[in-house]
Structures are given as C-alpha cells and as structure tokens.
Amino acid sequence: MNETELQELTESISITYFHKKFIHKAIFNTRLRTTGGRYLLKSHNIEINPKYLAQGLEEIIGIIKHELCHYHLHIEGRGYKHRDSEFRELLSKVGAPRFCTPLQTTVRKKKTLVYQCRACMFIYKRHRRMDPSKYVCGKCGGKIKLVS
C-alpha cells in the first residue's frame, strides 16, 4: 500500500462510517514506534505507522477509524481526547478500537556479567561492565575478578 491508496482508504472510511469528508492528508510515518497512528492538531493530518501493514488491513482500518474520531471531533470543536465521553461514544458507534494491538518487537535480553571475589568467592552479578581493579569485595575486602 502506498500513500495515495492510504489517502483513498481514509477518505472512503470517513464517508462510510462518519458520513463526513476527510479533506486533509493521510500519510505513513516510519518514525512512529509505540503507536499505530496519530492525529496532528495543527495541520489536521493523520499519520499511520507502516509497520502495522504486516498485521493486516483490518488493523490499519481500525487505526484509521480511531484517528478519524480524533479528527472529526476536533474539527467540530467537541471533546476529541481519549478521556472525553464524546470520543468514547464515537469510538463505540463506528467500531473503532481504543488501543491498537502492540507490535511484536524484538526484546533484547540483557547480558549478565559475573564477578567473583578471589578471597571469599562471593559472586556479584551485574548488567553493566566495571573495572575489577578499581573495586574490592564488600564482604572481605579481597580483589575481584571477572568470571564471565
């Protein structure tokens, strides 16, 4: 899907579900990370996260409906924020989701470094690297070495 198809889809959803025209731009924004889309208050444009295309057209349609709720309520001067009752009523009326499903991001596992005292063999587990020559054991005062 390219941006002209996104614009046409947004305009057709606006006419079908809201019975109002969408006269601004709907574009993809690759910089969005934690959200499916956003409505810009100053320019009245809608930005969509292109990563949600992989989850299917239904997910994109839900995101567009949600952002159009913000759009039409803001244009009319009504409560367009998530906490406003008018916004929640319009969401349920058009069948738009309140939140989009989270993306499956790659979760990086933190590397655990293991240090050990040479005298008493006490083990220290750390996530951040440290210089063992600058520190001593807190239990006995012995020297510390990196195990793994």
**Binding residue numbers for Zn(2+):** 66, 70
Indicate whether 7 and 79 sit together in one domain.
Answer: yes
Which CATH number characterizes residue 74's domain?
3.30.2010.10
Distance between CA atoms of residues 39 and 17, nearest Å: 18
The verdict on 86 and 117 lying in the same domain is no
Q: Is 17 found in the same domain as 77?
A: yes
**Residues 28, 58 within the same domain:** yes
Q: Does residue 79 share a domain with residue 29?
A: yes
Q: Does residue 87 sit in the same domain as residue 123?
A: no
Residue 99 lies in a domain: no
Three-state DSSP at 32 gives: coil
Tens digit of each residue's pLDDT (9 = 90 or more) over 21-78:
999 999 999 999 889 999 999 999 999 999 999 888 999 999 999 999 999 999 999 9
Q: What is the 3-state secondary structure (H, E, C) of 7-27?
A: HHHHHHHHHHHHCCCCCCCEE
Tell me the binding residues: 66, 70
Position 60 in a domain: yes
Rounded to 5 degrees, φ, ψ at 105 are -95, 155
Annotated active-site residue 67? The verdict is yes
Q: Which residue out of 5, 58, 67, 76 is catalytically annotated?
A: 67
Structural domain including 141 reads 113-146
Angle 85-94/57-76 helices, nearest 10 degrees? 140
Residue 104 lies in a domain: no
Q: Are 79 and 86 in contact (CB under 8 A)?
A: yes
Q: What is the pLDDT of residues 113-138, one digit of tens each?
A: 999 999 999 999 999 999 999 999 99
